[in-house]
Amino acid sequence: REEWYFQHPAQCVSCVDVIYWTSELEEVWDRMTNHSEPEKLSEYYNGYGEQILKTVELVKTDLTSLKRTLVCCLLVVDVHARSVMENLKEDKCTRVDDFNWQKQLRYYWTDNNVEGEPKDCWIGHSSAYVLYGYEYLGNQPRLVITPLTERAFLTCTGALAMNLGAAPQGPAGTGKTESVKDLGKALARQVVVFNCSDGLNYKMMSQMFAGLAQ
């Protein structure tokens, strides 16, 4: 695993990392339910923690700045995944359709149950299923995900799946813009930030959207 990190582009590694986490965790629940292995989740949780410690050891080595950025990004994502598993254990979640699991960002390499369609990366979030955007974002750091961020993401992905908009609201400097940008990284979608001043009218907005479309 530690060697695989540096054999492929950083964005691909980040995406495949969470695809494997999703599939492995759902396979654990399948074994717990259908093969009567109740300790499987604890075993996987402990093994995942050991993987994180091995990744931490990489940070102490002599890495280039690009490799260090990738490792730090993977650590943020993997530590959050470990926290999710810890909460699932406490809530005694043993089913794939449990809401405590459904409310997480889940990555699947699947045809999304469409006959004859090629497999692709689909992201499930509660009842929303959106296609991975494949927008080139490069090797970028990720935000630490908090429970509040998770709730904001849940609203935004639900709106995105229904072709609607979402408007995070709150005081200045609390991380609304950064959270939306981080969701864009998670979904591999382009995020354009602009200042919405009092003098902005519909004509200026139409020019802005026309420029984006071109």
Q: What is the pLDDT of residue 78?
A: 95
pLDDT band at 83 (very low <50, low <70, confident <90, very high): very high
The alpha carbon of 160 is separated from its chain's Cα centroid by a whole number of angstroms, namely 15
35 has a pLDDT exceeding 80? no
Share of the chain above pLDDT 70, in %: 98
Share of the chain above pLDDT 90, in %: 57
214 has a pLDDT exceeding 90? no
For the purposes of burial, counting CB atoms within 10 Å of the CB of 100, is it exposed (0-12), middle (13-18) or buried (19 or more)?
middle
Cα atoms in the Cβ-side hemisphere of radius 13 Å centred on 192: 7
The Cα 169–Cα 147 span in angstroms is: 16
Q: What is the mean pLDDT of residues 125-148?
A: 91
60 has a pLDDT exceeding 90? no
Q: What is the pLDDT of residue 117?
A: 76
Top-confidence range, 24-28, 33-37, 208-212:
24-28
Q: What pTM was computed for the model?
A: 0.87
Structure tokens at 165: 């908009």
118 has a pLDDT exceeding 90? no
**Number of neighbouring beta carbons within 10 Å of residue 142:** 17
pLDDT band at 32 (very low <50, low <70, confident <90, very high): confident
55 has a pLDDT exceeding 80? yes
pLDDT band at 201 (very low <50, low <70, confident <90, very high): confident
